Chain A
Amino acid sequence: EIVLTQSPATLSLSPGERATLSCRASQTVYSGLVWYQQKPGQAPRLLIYDASNRATGIPARFSGSGSGTDFTLTIGSLEPEDFAVYYCQQRSNWPRTFGQGTKVEIK
């Protein structure tokens, strides 16, 4: 199965700062990479699909890039509601797999 490794595990930033999250795949997933946001006690929320496409209603400060094995989620300027855990998931191979998550916390 494809292993997704997210880094860093925790990102401590202040509101207004830029967040850069990484997701690396153990083998190519082409552009089949998805990003989700999860807040405590809530289900995950779809942010980005096919590496760089924002889902409906997702603010423009969220952007995704990458292809193959290296992907990045960037939050341009952190809003208070952006502090959460972010997961990447690949949808190119079976079984679908998730990264272990990156927690973006308030510094």
Chain B
Amino acid sequence: QVQLQESGPGLVKPSQTLSLTCNVSGGSISSGSHYWTWIRQPAGKGLEWIGQTFASGSTNYNPSVESRVTISVDTSKNQLSLKLSSVTAADSAVYYCARGWIHLPPYGLDIWGQGTTVTVSS
């Protein structure tokens, strides 16, 4: 059973870079069958799609953060990473990683991490 686990600093200072990792267990992040996504949720608010990547390295980002974000895969560690630069308080949220299927159903995010809370504050 594939499981995802996010980790990273819970507190980041304004203007710094937020760095999170998502450890994939029970399966390979190199699988050509899946894509890997980051989504965030500010406290008490809805879900925001940040971006996604494939094991090949191909990425798609939300224009709202595209100039500041990098999503990548480390196949040697079986990890997904998120880097978001020049953070402000508006980037404070619970950050989730999630897995989707490329060519087979279900065509949605079927496995999610439990989320990690990031607060941007000095």
How many residues on A have C-beta within 8 angstroms of the other chain's C-beta atoms? 27
Number of A-B contacts (CB under 8 A): 66
Chain B contact residues (Cβ within 8 angstroms of A): what range? 20 to 34
Interface of A is mostly: loop
B96 within 8 A of A: yes
Q: Name the CB-closest residue of B to A97.
A: B49
Contacting A at CB under 8 A, from B70-122, are 96, 98, 105-110, 112-115
A89 and B46 within 8 A (CB) = no
Kindly name the residue among B63, B109, B113, B115 whose own CB sees the greatest number of chain A CB atoms within 10 A: B109
A50 and B107 within 8 A (CB) = yes
B47 within 8 A of A: yes
Contacting B at CB under 8 A, from A56-90, are 56, 87, 89
Q: Considering the chains assembled together, what is the distance between the CA atoms of A18 and B114 in angstroms?
A: 30
B111 → chain A closest CB, angstroms: 9
B108 and A91 within 8 A (CB) = yes
B113 → chain A closest CB, angstroms: 7
B26 → chain A closest CB, angstroms: 16
A49 and B106 within 8 A (CB) = yes
Q: Considering the chains assembled together, what is the distance between the CA atoms of A17 and B34 in angstroms?
A: 37
Q: Name the CB-closest residue of B to A95.
A: B62
Q: Considering the chains assembled together, what is the distance between the CA atoms of A45 and B48 in angstroms?
A: 15
Contact of B46 among A46, A53, A87, A91 (CB under 8 A): A87
Known pairs A43-B96, A95-B60, A95-B61; A49 contacts B105 (CB<8 A): yes
13 contacts between A and B (CB under 8 A): A34-B109, A36-B108, A44-B96, A44-B112, A46-B106, A48-B108, A55-B106, A55-B108, A95-B61, A95-B62, A95-B64, A98-B48, A99-B46
